[in-house]
Chain A
Amino acid sequence: MKPNKVFHASLITIVMIYLFIPLVATFLYSISTDWYRTILPEGYTLSWYKELFTDPRFLDAMQRTLFVCFLAICISVTVMVPTIFIVTVYFSRWERTLQGLVMLPYAIPGVVAAVGLIKLYSSGPIVLSGSIWILIGAYFVIVLPYMYQGIRNSMRTIDAIKLVEAAELLGASRMQAFWKVIFPNILTGIIVSTLLSFSTLFGEFVLANLLVGGHYETMQIYLIRRMSESGHLTSAIVVTYFILLFALSGIVMRLGKSSSKEGSR
């Protein structure tokens, strides 16, 4: 047993070191003064972060990303929660169709999705190409699987169909059954889906670049444009982006854990 333990521990340590080298290197790079002659940085500084956070271009790009993600997710939540609720409770024979529609984006990579979107909206009756609306529409589609999984699972956990039946037996209207009984119970699921969708969209590059790249500089586009200019500044962007992402996934994990505990009770 003993040598086995040592083997597993060392294997995992090596894999984890491998996985963390790029992260650690980027972090060190973002706080170093000069680092191209020596093995370790020549000195440490926070000036890259100072430069970054006073750069109006960065703040604008951040704002744009947050705006687009926020809008796409708001639309998604307002549309998907009632849709999933109605299909689950009242039209269960359409469940397979809904599932097929929302899972399809999983199999369609961004470049493929972009081809049709560009063609469809660059000429003809509705011209959206280059505007943020085409991006928001595309983002709505990207987050469909995340939204569906999270919300559908929490409805299944609370047994939404039975709850609604009980509420209606007791004289509640459909609206009341939804708002007073179902909604408070699936709120955690909605929040988890929202945050997961947010972290996916936050790092989205392909569609942003192909659909609106020239006109609308989001974080990822700002990042790739800065890459050729200053490595240190770019690492500061990457680190900032990651801290945000880790914070988000931390919250998701915590919420996910507490909701699954509630479910098993």
Chain B
Amino acid sequence: MLSLLPFAFLVLCFELLPLLVMVLESFRGDGGVGWGLEQYTKALTSKYYLQGLSNSFFISLCASAVGIVVALFAAYSITRFSQRMRDFLLMLSNMTSNFSGVPLAFAYIIILGSNGLFTLLFKQLGWTTLASIDLFSWFGLVCVYVYFQIPLAILLLYPTYYGIHQQWRESAALLGASTVQFWRYIGLPVILPGVVGTFSILFANAMGAYATAYALVGGNYNLIAIRIGSLVAGDVAARPELAGALAVILAITMVTAMLINEWMMRRVRRELG
């Protein structure tokens, strides 16, 4: 029993208490005076913070959608190779999935920044639309986010395809189903819970991403994660109460996404079992 104390102590001090303080703080007035929903009203009515929320939301949505579509095909293709090749491809995906945050932002500045390699290449080829991609804009952020979503989506989606048994395909083919019909009526319904679950993880991952965006655009682009960061440790005076409210809103979105995943995965397991 006593040996569980250090764990209880550390979890209390660095996980539970900080979360509790954050939630309590979010219900206080400015400067920690009084109680109320003031911070939430501010967060949800101010144009500025609403824009941050919606930017985060739509960037995450787009990046996750592109990521999942690419991974849907790529992960299936991987299942079509030999065992050795599959292991190798999964290893490569695993390797690149570590490439995120500050290093990733930097790599994208090298290739797509204003003096980037691809920007130069596109200019020389005369592809002006591609050459004028602004990495520090909405579209640029989506491009960078897509990059870290793809390997993650491949790794998460890959096992789902093993829910489709080879016999089903043979039976379907014997009964005269075309490939399109097979996927429409058998394949897709089987993998759908896995796809939705993966999507929700990707979405949560993008919503909470801070390092990549911070390294790319600093405090200049209005994202919810960036706003929270600058409210607690920025150059302007710290406003922990408002930061708390925004953090609670962000955490609720992420936990909802995670719960959807949990629920969907249970359905997948039931069907596989």
Tell me how far the C-beta of A45 lies from the nearest C-beta in chain B, rounded to whole angstroms. 17
Q: Are B150 and A114 in contact (CB under 8 A)?
A: no
Q: Are A5 and B80 in contact (CB under 8 A)?
A: yes
Tell me how far the C-beta of A25 lies from the nearest C-beta in chain B, rounded to whole angstroms. 5
Q: Are B247 and A8 in contact (CB under 8 A)?
A: no
The contact of A238 among B11, B19, B103, B214, by CB within 8 Å, is B103
With an 8 Å Cβ cutoff, the count of chain A residues facing the other chain is 75
A104 in contact (CB, < 8 A): yes
Which residue on chain B has the smallest CB distance to residue A234?
A: B106
Which stretch in A51-59, A155-163, A185-193, A205-213 binds the other chain? A205-213
B240 in contact (CB, < 8 A): yes
Q: Are B102 and A119 in contact (CB under 8 A)?
A: no
Q: Are B106 and A227 in contact (CB under 8 A)?
A: yes
Which stretch in B20-28, B130-138, B159-167, B184-192 binds the other chain? B20-28
A115 in contact (CB, < 8 A): yes
Tell me how far the C-beta of A240 lies from the nearest C-beta in chain B, rounded to whole angstroms. 11
1/0 contact trace for A67-93 toward B, CB 8 Å? 000000001001110110011000000
B117 in contact (CB, < 8 A): yes
CA distance A7 to B73 in the complex (A): 11
CA distance A124 to B255 in the complex (A): 30
The contact of B21 among A80, A106, A119, by CB within 8 Å, is A119
- List chain A positions with a Cβ less than 8 A from chain B: 4-5, 7-9, 11-12, 15-16, 18-23, 25-26, 29, 35-39, 75, 78-80, 82-83, 86-87, 101, 104-120, 137-138, 140-141, 144, 199, 203, 205-206, 209-210, 213, 220, 223-224, 227, 231, 234-235, 238, 241-242, 245-246, 249, 253
Q: List 17 A-B contacts (CB under 8 A).
A: A8-B81, A11-B74, A12-B81, A20-B92, A26-B103, A83-B3, A83-B6, A104-B15, A109-B251, A111-B225, A115-B232, A119-B240, A140-B10, A227-B102, A231-B110, A242-B99, A245-B98
